[in-house]
Amino acid sequence: MLIIIKILGLIVGFIVDKVFVVSEELGMTVRKKDFGEWYLEVVKKAGLLDQRYPVKGFPVYMPWAVFMIKRITSMLEQGLEQSGHEPAAFPVVIPESSLRKEREHVKSFEKEVFWITHAGQNKLDERLFLRPTSETAIYPMYSLWIRTYQDLPLKLYQSCQVYRYETKMTKPLIRGREFFWIESHTVQRTNEDAKKQIEEDMKITEDVIEKKLGIPFILCERPPWDKFPGAEGTYAYDTIMPDGKTAQVATTHNLGTRFSKPFDIKFVDENEKKQYAYQTCFGPGVSRILSAVISVHGDDKGLVLPPELAPVQVVIIPISVKGHEKDVIKKSNELCAELSKCLRVKLDNRNYRPGFKFNEWELKGVPVRLEIGPDDVAKKQVTLVRRDTGKRIVVSDGEAKKEIDEIMKDIFDNMKARAKKFFDENLREAKNYKELKEKLKQGGLVKISFCYEEDCAQKLKDDTGAEIRGPVFKSNEKPGEKCAICGKPAKKVVYAARAY
Ligand SMILES: [Zn+2]
């Protein structure tokens, strides 16, 4: 018996060793085993961010990341402009007096902004702060611009970086002191118009995050204690990361007249009566959306990028054999020129082993690898390799373009389906507190009946670290009789989760 156990132990040890050797060769932590470590590694090794910049919480965004940030931004801008928003650029500095106008807003942001107290050697008469979000920069100007109902709706957006003095541990692209986002700020005549705007924001978000980037999400109305400071209602988009924690990637807020009153944004209506305007603001977090793309789609080899987002869609790798270099290079150059007419193509003719190049471009998530060797030259063909499945396909030269288009479409469909499957598998349900605690350990979003009291949400947070993310937007689902946490009468069906 003992011998059998020993032999079994040796076999298991051998297998474990093998697994580690493989992952060591690829140089990546296994994603399922330690998502946190995998994430930090991929951000570094794929050349996304360099965290060595000497100011804490301020990384350098490298070309591979910036290209994608610009592309996500442009997808969102397109949606905003198609729905009547116009771009603007407000200053990054805001005077302290503007921050002090809205009571809840100041309470929340006062402690998490960067202050400017001096200019040159002079102390400023009034302190300035770097925008953490731009309500207090934009609304004093709106008050000057808006006169009558004819000026409404006013819909402006800006794509910019914002600054928050985060005291929690920073995490690249997920929580930083400087991050990329878009903020749109609209002024409307009625509360009904404001609500319509919120739904328009939702459509823009869905088009980009789900349809173009393949990130599944749930849209929840945040409970009153977790709203944007000063807002009447906050609607937030959460996706589920591979470690089971949720990440909020965008929010849209109904501000009602809570900002128009202190900022004096009034208009004369059709009956010559002065009225306070209704407002909304919408903030898709571009850095966070990119972090979701990295996390949700990535695998043990590194990034897996949606073809529409990838900085390079096809990488051409010439595989030379002595005596055939010229033919291989010639064909590679020709194909690169031809495919570059409609795709983002990179010819990698660096003097490295092909295997090294394969690993590097797989790590960077390039959707299709095109290999050209002497055999391919002779047979007038190319070899295509898919990043998502690793499958190799040999096609004739003339068919390459058409085949790449089809493969990219198929890759994206496959990525979307995989992501959706994981998301759906991580939607759970719990009937009582014991069950809720168990299910939260498994990760994802757990549906419960809830009393909708802040104290009860706080108890959950203290006990488990999880938060109430809120009821699903416009859901009419009837709760059970009792709150799953405290046992008092339940008012709503909500989702709970541990969140980034
Ligand atoms: Zn309760």
DSSP track, 184-235:
EEEEESSHHHHHHHHHHHHHHHIIIIIIIT----EEEEPPGGGS-TT-SEEE
For residue 488, report the distance from its CA to the centre of ligand 1, in Å: 6
For residue 205, report the distance from its CA to the centre of ligand 1, in Å: 32
Q: Which portions of the chain are predicted below pLDDT 70?
A: 1-27
203: nearest Cα among 84, 365, 115, 329: 84
pLDDT attached to residue 103: 80
For residue 456, report the distance from its CA to the centre of ligand 1, in Å: 5
- 324 half-sphere exposure, CB direction, 13 A CA radius: 14
One DSSP character per residue, 382-447 reads EEEEETTT--EEEEEGGGHHHHHHHHHHHHHHHHHHHHHHHHHHTEEE-SSHHHHHHHHHH-SEEE
- Interhelix angle 433-442/454-464, rounded to 10 degrees, is 50
CB atoms within 10 A of CB 229: 16
CB 421 within 8 A of CB 460: no
For residue 217, report the distance from its CA to the centre of ligand 1, in Å: 25
126: nearest Cα among 93, 103, 104: 93
For residue 236, report the distance from its CA to the centre of ligand 1, in Å: 22
For residue 441, report the distance from its CA to the centre of ligand 1, in Å: 20
For residue 147, report the distance from its CA to the centre of ligand 1, in Å: 47
For residue 296, report the distance from its CA to the centre of ligand 1, in Å: 32
Q: Which fold has domain 427-497?
A: Translation Initiation Factor IF3 (3.30.110)
For residue 474, report the distance from its CA to the centre of ligand 1, in Å: 21
For residue 483, report the distance from its CA to the centre of ligand 1, in Å: 5
pLDDT attached to residue 105: 80
For residue 453, report the distance from its CA to the centre of ligand 1, in Å: 6
Q: Which fold has domain 49-297?
A: BirA Bifunctional Protein; domain 2 (3.30.930)
For residue 447, report the distance from its CA to the centre of ligand 1, in Å: 13
For residue 477, report the distance from its CA to the centre of ligand 1, in Å: 17
Counted residue by residue, the chain has a size of 500
For residue 457, report the distance from its CA to the centre of ligand 1, in Å: 7
pLDDT attached to residue 13: 47
For residue 444, report the distance from its CA to the centre of ligand 1, in Å: 20
For residue 107, report the distance from its CA to the centre of ligand 1, in Å: 27
For residue 198, report the distance from its CA to the centre of ligand 1, in Å: 29
CATH class of 314-423: alpha beta
Q: Which tokens in the block code for residue 131?
A: 């925008």
For residue 6, report the distance from its CA to the centre of ligand 1, in Å: 52
For residue 464, report the distance from its CA to the centre of ligand 1, in Å: 15
Domain ranges of the chain: 2-30, 49-297, 314-423, 427-497
For residue 479, report the distance from its CA to the centre of ligand 1, in Å: 12
Torsion of CA 478, 201, 295, 242, to 10 degrees: 0
pLDDT attached to residue 19: 42
